[in-house]
Structure 1
């Protein structure tokens, strides 16, 4: 299983392309694109960001590694999916903002890939609504242990929600096709 590239490398690649998004939001967009059924090929960047002028990430680059890792993690049956977020030693409010940014990226690209009425289960619909609420949230400055625990729970919720949505939009239809 390929590892997620370093967040600083993804941020540098994003800046180099002139993208107006940070590394977590870009990873969220990639995962939203994939979870919504978008193509897992090297056109993901232009398609997930709805900008045909964006070049395909170079083979072996941080953005190509990001794609390869996201595809492998979403397809992995051992639920090894991870979010590209700042390290645990970063301030709590910075990590919370990154999670909310990740959700913003996810929602935009998920909508592009899945369309107006994706084949969501009731749980998938609820998960999507919860992700939308997180995307609208903003962090407050805090170093409280309870807030630390709450952020860890939110990260785990997002992880599971993404896997659920990927299951509804990609794995479920794929499985139904293989049965027919």
Structure 2
């Protein structure tokens, strides 16, 4: 399975390019772009940030590895796709905020790539609406207990599966339909 760079590596590479998005938001945007049918391109940062003046990440950089790993994970038939959020030792509050940031990035870039009427299944439409709710969420008081930890894990798994579902609707489904024609 393709390994993603760490959030710290992505943050450092983002700063070098002058990007203001958090690592989670940037990964969400990349995945939204790819799930919506956007091209796997070296200049992905310009596309997902809707700023053509941004230079492409240098080959082999953390941002280039993020793209390569994300593409490989989304295309993997074994559901190996992972979210780049925050470190495991981050607080539940920090990880929840990273998840909401990830969803915000995902929605923006998904809309750029998929357009106004993406070819979504009923489940895909519901998943996209639910991602929209998460993108608009704010971290409330969190007790940092096992219940909050479990709830966050469930949300992370939902977002992971929703991303794979939307990628299937917009990328894999049309690709398979073309191969049968």
TM-score, with structure 1 as normaliser: 0.98
1:53 match = 53
- Aligned partners of 2:43 and 2:94: how far apart in 1? 30
Structure 1 residue 87 displacement after superposition: 2.1
Equivalent residues in 2 for 1:14-163, closer than 5 Å:
14-142=14-142, 143-163=144-164
- Aligned partners of 2:175 and 2:93: how far apart in 1? 39
CA contact (8 A) 1:92 1:141 kept: no
TM-score, with structure 2 as normaliser: 0.97
Deviations 1:115-158 (A, max 9, x none): 00000000000000000000000112421211110000000000
- Aligned partners of 2:10 and 2:115: how far apart in 1? 27
CA contact (8 A) 2:17 2:57 kept: no
Where do 4+ consecutive residues of structure 1 move more than 2 Å? none
Q: CA RMSD in A?
A: 0.8
Structure 1 residue 88 displacement after superposition: 2.3
Deviations 1:16-63 (A, max 9, x none): 222121000000000000000000021211111110001111110000
CA contact (8 A) 1:24 1:84 kept: yes
